[in-house]
Amino acid sequence: MSDPRFDHPRLIADIGGTFARFALEVAPHVFEQSASLRCADFADFHAAVMAYLSGLTGVADGDIKHAAVAIANPVSGDDVRMTNYHWQFSIEQMRQRLHFDNLVVVNDFTALAMAVPSLSAQQRRQFGGGTAVARSVVGLIGAGTGLGVSGLIPAGDGWIALGTEGGHTSFSPQDEREIAILQYAWRQYPHVSFERLLSGSGLELIFRALTERAGLPERNLDAPEITRLALDGGDTLCKETIDVFCAILGTAASNLAVSQGAFGGIYIGGGIVPRLGLYFDQSPFRSRFEDKGRFTDYMKGIPTFVITAVDATLLGASVILASQLRDLDGASGSAILGQIRRALTSLSPAEQRVAQHVLAHPRSALNDPIASIARSADVSQPTVIRFCRSLGCEGLSDFKLRLASGLTGTIPITHTQVTSTDSMLELGAKVLGNTAAAILQARDHLNRDSMDRAMRLIADSSRVEIYAVGHYGAVANDAQFKFLRVGVSAVAHTDPRLQTLAANLVTPDVVVLIISSSGRIAELLAVAEKAQERGAKVIAITESQSPLARKANLALIVDHVEDIATQVPMMSRILHLLMVDILVVGVTLQRGLVVPALGSDATIGLDEVAPGSSVSGARRKAPGVSVAGALAHLAPQNR
């Protein structure tokens, strides 16, 4: 007996850099009226959706209440900007424009991963040996326009999908031929990732490299033509290109399997491998996959599968949407939105207004700073914090983290308490894990406007004076060194007596950068007041809701789980150091200088507290640079 049809059909979409595929899900895993539209034919995502909806039959306006979109792009927060195409949109604004009750947007490989447990034997093909271990980690990799990497972790009766950018890990050649390909690629790219080779454009790059290595005349063949000639068997070089591609994919899949402990198997999706058909099963992929030296027997036990289902990504998106709708209906006690609904009657009237705002605009609440949330709910900012704590959250950042986990289906980031019974290994793992979690959590709340404004202020200043005390004096000294290194006049003051004297001498063309985790140090608050009296702009790196954050012209917020009253600062100091790195790189780009290697590959997120005064009077000396540009220069540049 088939499942009953939905009361309202659900719109499911798979958006890539070239095509936008749409379908109506009318019953669980039953898709109708599928269509594939060229992205280039539409100005934006909204136009493509409306074109599809206008062509539907038997569907009236308002019939569609829920939609899920899998998109070839990282999805974090409300703003979606496609990597391989120019479309961008706000999830919440798009939901309102389309008049949907719910719009879920997820990474396409996260969606594909969530489809794996639902695949039938006819929708996948195993090749090679190995046997899947039930309820074990599953790995997923697939080449198409780019290289997608994901995984599934069993959790209770369901699964958690990992949202990763594993395709950008550094390519590791395994023989002299692949070394030659890497050297060829280095002429064009300072960092050669697996995605550079395991993609449509990567096939073409491998072909050109092998052509040069063989001393043959250049031929301008695109990926489909290379594949066709290889499968026809009439072109030796094209066949070698496909074999090399499959071998490199075997290396990437093998690395994924040992990294994840993927005893549930490795699944291969994407647009390229399925087109190779049975040729892929006889390719060097599996032998390279098992070639792990001492771990060869380990690898032989892990099965590999090709996903043959045409609608697998749509299926995964529908699974995620169904899970979200169950959470919204209160079927899952762990869902933060369901928890808010259940707690409504126990909240104060003011907290109820915050709750109603979050329930009505969850994506907006995920991305907005505290001032915007408070204004929209017509409450004070402390009320927003009280609302978060009423739900058992540490504060707004912790609440947003739980909200993001519920909206995206990705694995949550947690803080683990170190205890006296921990072994040295457990202690080390917890310290490193907590630090990594703090960085990732802060990154997810990045406020790009405040970052851009801080970079412009510093770039337009004649000098930066950096103030900090105690353990954070090292951060101030590090900032002075890095600013000086890129040609920005800077001086650090870490002695309270000298700080008072120096603050009395600042001028309006100076930017004062104050670094304080608590934002409650009396000496630093006095410095901020004196600097502003003398016309200088004050930028504070500090925690939210602190006196320093409220006093500064611009506050860059770094919140973290750390009791600095009883502990030597660890995470907070690392976050502040990384914050300085971002500012230095951004200011360097503002001034058109060469960016040096600063030794930091991580980025953190920031938030803005309403400034005490305007920065609109800042002088502009160089073209603006976005924070995205600064963050790009902090990405690993391994070669």
Taking only the tens place, the pLDDT of each residue in 381-396 is 999 999 988 887 778 8
Query: Is 177 buried (19+), middle (13-18) or exposed (0-12) by CB count in 10 A?
Result: middle
Write out pLDDT tens, residues 442-500: 665 556 677 888 999 999 999 999 999 988 899 999 999 999 988 899 999 999 999 99
What dotted CATH number matches 120-308? Answer: 3.40.367.20
Which residue ranges make up each domain of the chain? 10-107, 120-308, 331-412, 440-632
Strands across the sheet with 66-71, in order?
30-38, 19-27, 10-15, 66-71, 102-107
Residue 87: pLDDT over 80: yes
Contacts of residues 287-292 at CB distance under 8 Å and 24 or more positions apart, as own/partner, are 287/250, 288/174, 288/246, 288/247, 288/248, 288/250, 288/251, 288/254, 289/128, 289/250, 289/251, 289/253, 289/254, 289/257, 290/128, 290/254, 291/174, 291/250, 291/254, 292/254, 292/258
- 440-632 belongs to CATH 3.40.50.10490: yes
Give residue 431's pLDDT. Answer: 66
pTM greater than 0.75: no
Percent of the chain with pLDDT over 90: 51
The domain over range 10-107 is classified in CATH as 3.60.120.10:
no
Per-residue confidence band for 283, with pLDDT thresholds at 50, 70 and 90 = very high
Per-residue pLDDT for 24 more than 50?
A: yes
Q: How many helices (H) and strands (E) does the chain have?
A: 27, 19
Is 70 exceeded by the pLDDT of residue 27? yes
* Domain 331-412, CATH among 1.10.10.10, 3.40.630.10, 3.30.70.20, 1.10.1060.10: 1.10.10.10
The predicted-structure confidence for 602-624, as pLDDT tens digits, reads as follows 333 333 333 333 333 333 333 44
State how far the Cα of 519 lies from the Cα of 512, in Å rounded to an integer: 15
